[in-house]
Structure 1
């Protein structure tokens, strides 16, 4: 399948979904305190999106039952919301896809519950840094290898694992569109970025150096193989002649 190229009007529609998504993340940030459950956060997201005329796209996607993916500590992706109260020292990634009038935006963010260890705080800061290094590299005429390389260099410098099976992707009308956007790469290799491409960039790093993961029995939840903490930061961006534009900020 060919990578879609979006018009300026299409990108405006995706940006509106992204605006709602970003506002929802701001509401989530307000309640991230010890004692809250990811189930309560999921319900908050459902209410917020309904109030704003939007829909959680991943709910029902291939049978996924919730409005959010809620991944705590060693769970690095696709965690199910549950009733366990979050505790001081936990980190939780809330990842969601917002559908507004048939146009989609995707963003995940890792939150610290109260004070976390220095190692985990540094992991969060450097994964966040890697997100923006990847975005900075996503210039018109650059390649996906350039983007992946920029992200990979941060992980290598700090000694973190990259969860290589988890990649960014195209997005717009469907949740996952071409192309895949790996968090590693060789400069100059891979698909060349063209004006109108809309993609997600989403580094997932672990404290364990391998970044190896396994799938739980539910078929969704992905955890670090060594039990180390994993974090993720994700934006949806558009490739334009003026440079990469973040649509979920």
Structure 2
């Protein structure tokens, strides 16, 4: 069952999403060789609590931390630990926050120092595919239109599109209907309706699309041990068009990056 949100509820969800966006901006400032993912997790938890929210992942399905931290060949759901990041690593940081009864859920894959050109292109194409998918989240389209667009864009570049892990509806629960696969056929699946809020999140592998789960019950890695990238936005259907609730702007501010990629999905400029 799809839980449609009112305009007022969407604004509450925007507040939750932006707490996550700001948290990722704080994490971005600290990512460098020698820092452990456990240290980054502590930064995130303190920032979320200091801003009147609760960590959305901590304890969810018994997950032990506030961030999912997934380096290199890990796709998602990596558990923070004491192992330091190294020059040339990439790290997917997935973060959730609960405020006013609604969740935000948002992810970005960071380069740790300088990375090789092949992996850098994977990150670029995966992030571009996120916006390719978001453009299809509009009135009268269906779940399959988003999945098809992401799949085609990434497979045209020779990448593997993960099948077993998908995006999802978002609201008072972290995971609501509908599921939002990153693959599919046009015109298939549930129809998008005004007031829907979804988390769209391409998970794209440099090699095979196949994955494996580790014995910890959480960590997912690529079957061929090649790198994987993951980017995620929270998006509402407003006036028949996609409107971003989350933003990468705080990350870009921390990293000194200029970008206008989000402008088409906002009614007005975001004030930092």
> Structure 2 length as normaliser, TM-score?
0.90
Render the CA deviation track for 1:94-133: whole Å, top value 9, x for unaligned. Answer: 1011101211010011000000010100000000000000
Following the alignment from structure 1 to structure 2, what is the Cα–Cα distance between the partners of residues 5 and 100? 18
Aligned to 1:56: 55
Aligned-residue offset at 1:25: 1.0
| 3-state SS of paired residue (1:166) | coil
Aligned to 1:228: 226
User: Is contact 2:24-2:95 (8 Å) kept?
Assistant: no
Aligned to 1:173: 172
Aligned to 2:66: 67
Following the alignment from structure 1 to structure 2, what is the Cα–Cα distance between the partners of residues 173 and 227? 36
User: Is contact 1:140-1:240 (8 Å) kept?
Assistant: no
Taking only aligned residues, the RMSD between alpha carbons, in angstroms, comes to 0.8
Where in structure 1 do 4 or more consecutive aligned residues deviate above 6 Å? none
Render the CA deviation track for 1:156-191: whole Å, top value 9, x for unaligned. Answer: 110000111110000100011111000011111111
Following the alignment from structure 1 to structure 2, what is the Cα–Cα distance between the partners of residues 105 and 46? 14
> Structure 1 length as normaliser, TM-score?
0.98
Following the alignment from structure 1 to structure 2, what is the Cα–Cα distance between the partners of residues 37 and 118? 24
In structure 2, runs of 5+ residues without a counterpart are 248-272
Following the alignment from structure 2 to structure 1, what is the Cα–Cα distance between the partners of residues 125 and 226? 16
Matched, 1:33 2:35: no
User: Is contact 1:104-1:171 (8 Å) kept?
Assistant: yes
Aligned to 2:150: 151
Matched, 1:216 2:214: yes
Aligned-residue offset at 1:193: 0.4
User: Is contact 2:168-2:175 (8 Å) kept?
Assistant: yes
Following the alignment from structure 1 to structure 2, what is the Cα–Cα distance between the partners of residues 219 and 199? 25
| 3-state SS of paired residue (2:97) | strand
| 3-state SS of paired residue (2:156) | helix
Following the alignment from structure 1 to structure 2, what is the Cα–Cα distance between the partners of residues 164 and 87? 29
Matches within 5 A, 1:1-249: 2-208=1-207, 210-249=208-247
Aligned-residue offset at 1:242: 4.8
